[in-house]
């Protein structure tokens, strides 16, 4: 019997069978590998593709004024997002929403045509706005609740409060300074969705609740703040000024009862003018001029160099090395006591006092009153101002410094100088936050620094001299009916760094604009308040001096504030 021979068709069947066998082996191995070795990895990857993680914003803590009025709070708002894969007609949906949202049809349609399952349509709408869109019953729109920051009193204390961004993070003011306290801790929502973006019933769903932020109580008195803002606006209109600032301090605690600037803004609708956002009472500087004469005279009295009765022969002008200084009003040489020099705001008389005092002592007292350093107020963006060390002063620099030039200060710093005199010579760190309210209702008080600058006796003498300024001197328009008050006028030319003075080619010159100010304390016998009014660049054809531009506003704010605090009128 012969051997069986392989025919071509047999070979073909063999190779075909071998190919299919190998294929099944490969498939089998792959199935074993996928279902066995890689099973958990692939399952995790598939789950990751189906899971969506959403951050749950925490409610920010509420900001109150000193009397418990809500200045900033968080409410529930509605955010609308779309799943473009669920929208059958992007153009029609966009047209239906455009008018309600104030967004162009083309912009919305482009969003709805994206190859994604999530696009924002509108963030943090109020209830009525969201309900109007919900009533349209449009496919592909989804609604989620988010916290929204609101400021119920509009622009009240706007530059103190600041504002938050779309994601509720503090961007200015107290909102920024105390972000860690107010923000709380965000939560998280994790859920499972289908390829078309729909939530899968019985799928993965996990929620970690957000933790609400802590509340903050400010030192601001809401009613006094409102009045101060009104006065700032009115003074700006009366004088044609670029801006007006008003500061009210409690002299026994250095709490800021009001801190107002005009122009201002509404933190509910912040706009785009960033210059309005900053609190210029602590972020902007100026040369204080005659209000700083208080420091020069107080230092000389404290050091025993002069008394209020010390008399100087005061000419109309005085030459100090390379510079000549003049009094505001031309006059014959006359004998003036230190009290007369303060009441009449004599530049020449103050320089004569400085010549007895000297640069090192003047510099020491400038530092003691807090000039050239951070006040430490709990507020972002504060600048220290500028007071150069005495060893760097030129031969005439002390004369200029003694009358309020060559020094850069903030309105808050200068108001604190007068509060120090009202507080029997003790400077304290100004505060705008009264307490951080803990979860258990307890409140944490911010730490406060203080230092003695003048003796009680010198502070009393200076209050008497400041009262003379109002009763018979340059500040008579600051008088408050029923109360004895004291203060000091200031009118300072503004240094323009880009202006070139005649006869020179170097930039930097004093221009035509001035800062007119009045800072005072009241009542004189038992001070409760220090108030500063600062008028930036009043028009040349309007009221220009501190005694005319700023003193009347001081009078009105002081009167309102004393009534607000229940301070009885003087017994006369």
**Is residue 151 within 8 Å of 107, Cβ to Cβ?**
no
Largest separation between any pair of C-alpha atoms in the chain = 155
**Is residue 498 within 8 Å of 203, Cβ to Cβ?**
no
561: left (phi over 0), alpha (psi -120 to 50) or beta: alpha
146 contact partners, CB below 8 Å, separation of at least 6: 57, 76, 77, 78, 79, 123, 124
User: Which residue carries 């004569």 as its tokens?
Assistant: 352
Is 290 tagged catalytic? yes
51-56 and 317-320: which strand pairing? Answer: unpaired
Q: Which helix (H) or strand (E) holds 463?
A: helix 456-471
3-class DSSP string for 237-289: HHHCCCEEEEEEEECCCCEEEEEEEECCCECCECCCCHHHCCCHHHHCCECCH
Q: Single out the catalytic residue among 290, 346, 524, 555.
A: 290
Q: The tokens of 358 are what?
A: 């000297």
Q: At what angle do helices 293-302 and 456-471 cross, to 10 degrees?
A: 140
User: Which residue carries 């966009």 as its tokens?
Assistant: 94
Measured CA to CA in angstroms, residue 325 lies from 333, 392, 402 at distances of 14, 21, 12
- CA–CA dist 190, 558 (Å, integer): 57
Q: Which helix (H) or strand (E) holds 77?
A: strand 70-82
User: Which residue carries 């005279």 as its tokens?
Assistant: 297
3-class DSSP string for 475-517: CHHHCECCECCEEEEEEEEEEEEEEECCCCCCEEEEEEEEEEE
Dihedral of alpha carbons 462, 467, 473, 475, sign: positive
**Is residue 381 within 8 Å of 393, Cβ to Cβ?**
no
CB atoms within 10 A of CB 455: 13
Of the CA atoms within 13 Å of residue 192, those in its CB half-sphere come to 11
- Report the b/e string of 140-168 with b at 16+ CB within 10 A: bbeeeebbbbebebebbbbbbbbbbeeeb
**Is residue 236 within 8 Å of 280, Cβ to Cβ?**
no
Q: Which helix (H) or strand (E) holds 344?
A: helix 338-344
Q: Which helix (H) or strand (E) holds 206?
A: strand 205-208
Residues marked active site are found at: 290
């Amino acid at each position: 019997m012969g051997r069986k021979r392989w025919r071509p068709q047999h070979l073909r069947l063999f190779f075909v069978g071998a190919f299919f066998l190998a294929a099944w082996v490969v498939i089998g191995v792959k199935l074993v590998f996928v279902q066995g070795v890689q099973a958990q990895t692939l399952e995790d990857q598939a789950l990751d593709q189906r899971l969506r993680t959403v951050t749950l914003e925490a409610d920010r803590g509420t900001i109150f004024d000193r009397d418990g009025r809500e200045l900033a709070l968080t409410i529930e708002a509605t955010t609308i997002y779309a799943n473009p894969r669920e929208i059958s007609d992007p153009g029609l949906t966009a047209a239906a929403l455009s008018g309600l949202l104030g967004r162009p049809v083309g912009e919305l349609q482009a969003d709805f045509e994206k190859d994604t399952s999530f696009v924002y349509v509108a963030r943090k709408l109020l209830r009525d706005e969201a309900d109007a869109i919900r009533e349209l019953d449009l496919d592909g729109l989804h609604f989620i609740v988010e916290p929204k920051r609101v400021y119920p009193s509009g622009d009240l204390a706007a530059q103190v409060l600041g504002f938050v961004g779309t994601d509720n993070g503090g961007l200015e003011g107290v909102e920024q300074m105390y972000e860690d306290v107010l923000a709380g801790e965000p939560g998280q929502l994790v859920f499972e969705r289908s390829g078309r973006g729909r939530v899968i019933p019985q799928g993965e769903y996990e929620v970690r609740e957000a933790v609400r932020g802590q509340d903050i109580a400010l030192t601001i008195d809401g009613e006094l703040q409102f009045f101060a803002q009104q006065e700032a606006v009115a003074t700006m209109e009366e004088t044609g000024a670029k801006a007006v600032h008003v500061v009210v301090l409690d002299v026994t605690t250095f709490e800021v009862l009001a801190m107002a600037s005009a122009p201002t803004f509404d933190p509910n609708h912040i706009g785009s003018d960033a210059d309005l956002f900053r609190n210029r009472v602590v972020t902007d500087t100026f040369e204080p001029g005659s209000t700083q004469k208080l420091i020069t005279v107080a230092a000389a009295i404290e050091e025993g160099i002069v008394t209020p009765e010390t008399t100087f022969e005061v000419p109309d002008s005085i030459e100090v090395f390379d510079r000549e200084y003049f009094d505001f009003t031309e006059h014959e040489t006359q004998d003036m006591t230190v009290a007369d020099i303060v009441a009449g705001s004599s530049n020449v008389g103050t320089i004569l006092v400085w010549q007895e005092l000297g640069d090192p002592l003047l510099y020491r007292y400038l530092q003691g009153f807090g000039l050239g350093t951070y006040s430490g107020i709990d507020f972002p963006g504060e600048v220290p101002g500028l007071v150069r060390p005495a060893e760097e002063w030129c031969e005439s620099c002390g004369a200029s410094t003694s009358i309020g030039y060559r020094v850069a200060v903030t309105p808050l710093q200068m108001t604190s100088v007068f509060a120090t005199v009202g507080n029997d010579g003790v400077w304290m760190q100004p505060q705008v936050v009264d307490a951080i309210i803990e979860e258990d209702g307890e409140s944490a008080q911010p730490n406060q620094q203080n230092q003695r600058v003048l003796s009680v006796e010198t502070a009393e003498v200076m209050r008497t001299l400041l009262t003379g300024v109002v009763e018979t001197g340059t500040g008579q328009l600051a008088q408050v009916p029923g109360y004895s008050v004291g203060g000091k006028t200031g009118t300072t030319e503004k240094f323009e760094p880009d202006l070139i003075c005649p006869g020179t080619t170097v930039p930097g010159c004093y221009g035509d604009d001035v800062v007119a100010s009045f800072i005072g304390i009241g009542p004189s016998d038992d001070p409760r308040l220090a108030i500063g009014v600062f008028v930036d660049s009043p028009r040349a054809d309007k009221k220009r001096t501190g005694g005319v531009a700023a003193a009347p506003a001081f009078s009105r704010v002081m009167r309102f504030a004393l009534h607000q605090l229940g301070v009885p009128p003087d017994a006369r």
